[in-house]
Amino acid sequence: MSRKIALWLLWVGFIAYILLLGPPLHLEETLTLLKNIFTLNWTDINPVILSLFSLIGIWLFIYSAVLFFDGRMQWIPFYPFAIASIASGTLGLIPYLAMREDNQQFSGRKDAFLQLLDSRFFGIALSLSTAGLFAYAILGDWVGFWQQFLGDSEALLPSADRFINGMSLAFCLFCLLFPTVLGDDMARRRWNNPQVFWAVALVPLIGPLLYLCLRPPILENDEAGST
């Protein structure tokens, strides 16, 4: 119960921060940024910001590789929250994490979609994509990104932006929240290893990616639970 309360408080607190305490929203600049991203006009985008936006997508794939299996056994499915997360990031994800129950079982067969999520190829593809994004981000304007994230107190017109600030904090929340679902996924795979759990939990992003590459597959069984 305390975990659920903490997650709801985090969700409400993040919304309150974005709306009341965060930097101002530069709507025109944000819409232009999103338009350039989705129309592949990337030459006008700071590589740091484009990489960060893409890494949010990587995180959504990582959570999907865990929570679509979890949602099979929950009273509420994961897919509506996965769809909501595409548009809102952690704001769409946290309600599912708060409402789900602890679950260390999986029953039934894996369809083609679950087989893809369960494959090591999926984890390797995400890892290679992440490596490319990190390499691309190195070429970016980090000073400009920092000013958009936090602002410049010495400037007459601080350039902090609510969208960039919120997206950066959402990335951090993805890192923070992954351990809340990691233990159940390891148990479903009969991989009860505390050292592996802490190695994955304490290494942001890279740990979960390596976990997807190395974890054993989930065993299929019938609805009655026989193997």
pLDDT tens-digit readout, 175-212 = 999 999 999 999 999 999 999 999 999 999 999 999 99
Give the pLDDT confidence score for residue 152 in this predicted structure: 59
Helix (H, G, I), strand (E, B) or coil at 215: coil
Give CA angle at 172 (200, 45), nearest 5°. Answer: 120
Task: Map out the domains of the chain as residue ranges.
Answer: 2-214
With a cut of 50, which residues of the chain have pLDDT below it? 153-157, 224-227
Give the pLDDT confidence score for residue 226 in this predicted structure: 39
Calculated CA dihedral for residues 126, 41, 29, 50, nearest 10 degrees? 20
pTM listed for this prediction: 0.92
For 71-119, give the secondary structure using H, E and C: HHCCCCCCHHHHHHHHHHCHHHHHHHHHHCCCCCCCCECCCHHHHHHHC
Helix (H, G, I), strand (E, B) or coil at 43: helix
* Cβ pair 51, 136 in contact under 8 A: yes
Give the pLDDT confidence score for residue 158 in this predicted structure: 52
Token representation of residue 206: 């890279």
Give the pLDDT confidence score for residue 84 in this predicted structure: 95
Query: Residue 108: beta bridge partners?
Result: 221
